[in-house]
A and B are shown apart, each in its own frame.
Chain A
Amino acid sequence: MVLSSPHRLALSFGVIVLVLVLVLVLVLGCGQPRPPGTPPRATSAAAPIRFVDATEASGIGFIHTDGSSGRRYLVEPLSAGVATFDYDGDGRIDLYFPNGALLPGAEPGDAESPPRHALCRNLGAGVFRDVSLAAGIDCRDYGLGVVAGDVDEDGFADLFLTTFGAKRLFRNLGDGTFVDATESAGVADGEKVGAGATFLDADGDGDLDLYAANYVRFTLENHRPRSFKGFPAYAGPRDYPPWPDTFFRNAGDGRFVEASVEAGITAVAGPGMGVVCLDHDDDGDTDIYVGNDALEGNFLFENDGRGSFRETALSAGVAVNRFGAEIGSMGTEAGDADGDGRIDLFVTDFQPDLPVLFRNLGRGQFEDATAATAAGSGAWQFVTWGTAMADFDNDGRRDLFLACGHLNDNVEAFDDTTAYRNHNLLLRNVGGRFVDASAAAGLHDIPRHAARGVACDDLDDDGDLDVVILNSREAPTLLRNLDRERGGSNHWCQVRVRGRQGNRDGVGAKVILHAGDETFVDEVHAGRGYQGHFGTRLHFGLGGHPAIDRIEIRWIGGGTETFTDVPIDRLTELTEGNGQAVAAPGSPPGP
């Protein structure tokens, strides 16, 4: 077909006009503000981070229960954190899911198999198997928190659980089984509503001591029915006096000695939830940061280096948010958010308040940098629980993952700005500011739950960090990070730290990685997030750096040691005293 010039001109004009119309409609249609009342849509960054829901393929059969019957006992929404750790030393990261238990009034369900906790062994290729009973963990306590640590220095991670009731210690025998050592270790601590816990070498004597937060003095007998705008609701932290937290000193012979008063822990009391350790003032010992739920402000226990503590949160600037308001703290996380070499703190919060990022200014001082960094982006309407500050795209900047879900399952009836089940949040760190990248990362495409604990580790050993989420009353979610599959070109390095004079897992050690003109800093934590545990194997995204110049480790109770010849894109073991980097068992393949 041949068209005359005027026809061609007219046709071209028509096509251009149509395209313009479409563009105008699209641009203006997208640009208009949403009508009030509809839930806000996350602003997604052009993020390379992408997750896929790998739960079904993982074979994880665990289903959480909160044991509820409609009576709304205070502990129901608090269950539970989650842990990722290598229990059998095969180099693969395994999973531990605490579970609730039936509370009065709840339907007994299947009497043959009442709810129990689940230890899931990583078989590789993204597949897990529940080995709880074979491993000797038949725990049916009302689980709230979990932390892993090698308390007897035998090379295998033991498990400490906080519950609604007595605390529990399962000692790892190193043959794939555990034995309940609660009584012999002396860590039961009466009947309390437990919370987050952390192992730390408080006195630098080379073994792991234990800090366990407690919530409030709730019992089934003093249960208070509550209502909100005529609807039944859960009681909260103001309804009961708080328990002081508990500190156990490791006696070195398999026993723990309760030393809360001597350590200065009981000088204050708050409704504790998440706990994380860090050397906040860079003085070489381990301090403890405790998130308290809406009351008392958060606690920062400053260590004098000998295992005695002084509460200094207000002076340090981490007790309350910048407006002077207490934070409904749920999860606590520590990491270098702004890449300045200092460990910052992040705390999740109750709706409608924002989570808070406390930037470490040095000299033990912090400042609420939430507004300046947009670290609360997209979180306004959500109760946020578990959290992880982790580099999901290996660009050298730590992103934030937040687990979301309301505690009241009927919240929509009296507050249409939020929901019981929500999508989770991924805040991508773009040059020190956080951008809500949840939608781009695929989190909006994944079924919504009432999420609680979150743990981040490289579960498939491919060089990027995956995520596991404990969902209240439902199956957990396993998110596989697709960074490597999608051709992510940034380099990375994973480090497993081994102490000799100090504790065997190097808990509390500060690891400083130098690559080109950049420095990356992390500390080895045992216990973090919302009453959970993850990240004992440190993961550094290196961006485009093709090599590591050196890694310095400042050991707890020891000096600083430098390791050279550390390879990139691998898991490496760095052992105190030998100055040599060694490929770790189960190391992911190199490039």
Chain B
Amino acid sequence: MAWRWISWRWMAATGAAIVIAATGVAVTLARPRSTPPAVAAPAKVVRFPTPSAAVPEGYAGLVEEAQTLVDWIVARHPSRPQSTALAATIAAERGDQETAAALWQTHLERHPETAEGWYRLGLYAVKEGRDAEAAEWLERARRLDPSLPDIQGHLGRCLLKSDRVDEAAEVLEPAIGDDRGGAVRLFHLGHARLRQEKNTEARAAFQGAIDRAASYTGAWYGLATALARLGLADDAERARAEFRRLKAEDAENAAKNLSRDESARMRRLLAGWYAAAGRIAALDGDTQEAKALLSRGAAVEQAALPSAAPPSTAAGDGR
């Protein structure tokens, strides 16, 4: 009979092997929580950005030059997290978050301890409304480097949006002791307190945010909400009046921002990216390349001065 050649020992051994294999598969599948899978970068022809060329006037030309820069810097200095950061930043500026995230994924495959990588992935996830994942990645970034820009604020906000209100409050609470900054964190802490129905603490948090940034419109609105909940109707109305006044100012500023020239903004960004690229080259000891990159950055920055180019088509979608 066919079954006779299958000994029970063989079956048991096969079963054990399958268990081990399954565990391996499971671990592999679970790994993206800490290390996302690699994404192969497309092959590109890499050329050095021409240092002496005229600075493009239009947005599209500037973006093209930025891409040339990033292709060069990633090819020349692939192991530097700064290279990935630069490439991802430029991709995100172009609205290509998928590429930006893939760049960091590739980098994190090799350097999982890069705090900035988890931080950026977290911020991309925030932009896509994936707050639970964002919180996970930002938490990891915070463990690796608590000094990342406003990491507590970003993490607290994600936790709050993920309905993890108590955890959010815990992350944001240290902002109370930060007498130099932390207005945004206090603002989010105020909202966490409102969600916890701790209205007195909410009032204190919003007031703290206002003490640090007097024209923080959102904090004035939060303060009005907390005061109204505490039954302090007159105080709430005063906070609303201040909110209304600041909003009117905001509206004026928003109108000014609308007329901002898109190409000029891009030139300023590109100048900053050249400076970052120069620093990367310098870190790897390539002084000549660093000089060339910084010099091109200076040329681009010069072109970004208001007199350099007339305002082109108005930017923004009017919102």
Contacts and interface: CB of A to CB of B under 8 A. Distances in A.
Interface in A254-307: 294-297
A228 B313 CA distance: 10
Interface string A349-379: 0101000000000000101000110100000
B53 interface: no
Contacts of A10: 6-8, 10-12, 15
Contacts of A413: 95
Nearest to B233: A315
Interface stretch (B74-82, B237-245, B301-309): B237-245
A365 to B, nearest CB: 7
B94 interface: yes
Given A20-B22, A28-B29, A28-B30, A37 B195 contact: no
B11 A320 contact: no
A229 B101 contact: no
Interface in B1-50: 1, 3, 6-8, 10-12, 14-15, 18-19, 21-23, 25-26, 29-30, 32-33, 36-37, 39
Interface string B279-319: 00000000000000000000000000000000001111111
B225 A29 contact: no
Given A25-B26, A374-B163, A234 B318 contact: yes
A32 B30 contact: yes
A226 interface: yes
B251 A295 contact: yes
Nearest to B127: A417
Contacts of A408: 317
A380 B12 contact: no
B316 A226 contact: yes
Interface stretch (B56-64, B143-151, B270-278): B56-64
Contact of A324 (B32, B163, B217): B217
B317 A236 contact: yes
A294 B195 CA distance: 25
Chain B interface size, under 10 / 10 to 19 / 20 to 34 / 35 or more: 35 or more
Contact of B3 (A1, A236, A322, A367): A1
A367 B221 CA distance: 12
A431 interface: no
B133 interface: yes
B161 interface: yes
Contacts, number: 202
B14 A14 contact: yes
Given A227-B313, A322-B225, A381-B128, A32 B6 contact: no
A222 interface: no
A350 B258 CA distance: 18
Contact of A14 (B11, B94, B136, B318): B11
A29 B27 CA distance: 10
A7 B33 CA distance: 40
Contact of B313 (A39, A225, A297): A225
A40 B129 contact: yes
B11 A11 contact: yes
B129 A380 contact: yes
Contacts of A381: 128-129
Interface in B78-113: 93-102, 104-105
Given A230-B63, A372-B195, A408-B317, A367 B225 contact: yes
Contact of B60 (A230, A235, A236): A230
B73 interface: no
Given A36-B121, A230-B59, A314-B244, A20 B95 contact: no
Given A322-B191, A323-B218, A228 B316 contact: yes
21 contacts: A7-B11, A13-B12, A14-B14, A32-B32, A33-B32, A34-B133, A36-B102, A36-B104, A37-B100, A226-B313, A233-B317, A237-B319, A323-B191, A324-B218, A324-B219, A324-B221, A350-B319, A408-B317, A414-B95, A416-B96, A416-B97
User: What are the nearest 10 A-B pairs in CB distance?
Assistant: A236-B318, A380-B129, A324-B221, A10-B11, A37-B98, A36-B101, A230-B59, A6-B8, A414-B95, A324-B218
